[in-house]
A = this chain, B = another copy of it.
Amino acid sequence: MLTPRFDAAGLVTAVVTDEASGTLLMVAHMNAEALDLTIRTGIAHYWSRSRSVLWKKGETSGALQTVREMRVDCDQDAVWIKVAVAKPEDTCHTHRPTCFYRSVELGQGGGALRQD
């Protein structure tokens, strides 16, 4: 059975990828209740660290995430969920289909951001 290793704030990290494209959509956090609701309902729930509330992703925006698969890492402090998104254009609060919409230049003198 899953025995999550919650951090000092009672959270595990959730890595969220698109089940079809494999794109990383977002990184979020789950407390015990969010994790339990996600497993039982198959709809992604998180803990909002900024608002300190349970957060059913997409409840307001419509960008609900249906969980197709959940995996857990070796030390059980991170889960990976592969999801189908109801309204992909609103996955990120910036109204983009992923939070990772910028690349970081590599190399000496790197660090520049580019939207691509």
Contacts and interface: CB of A to CB of B under 8 A. Distances in A.
What is the interface residue range for chain A against chain B?
35 or more
A103 B27 contact: no
A53 interface: no
A1 B17 CA distance: 25
A99 B74 contact: yes
Interface string A81-116: 000000000001110100111111111101111000
Interface string A53-85: 000000000000001011111110011100000
Q: How many copies does the complex hold?
A: 2
Nearest to A70: B104
Contact of A92 (B15, B27, B74): B74
A51 to B, nearest CB: 13
A102 B39 contact: no
Nearest to A23: B22
A67 B108 CA distance: 14
Contacts of A106: 39, 42, 67, 69-70
A1 B114 CA distance: 9
A59 B111 CA distance: 24
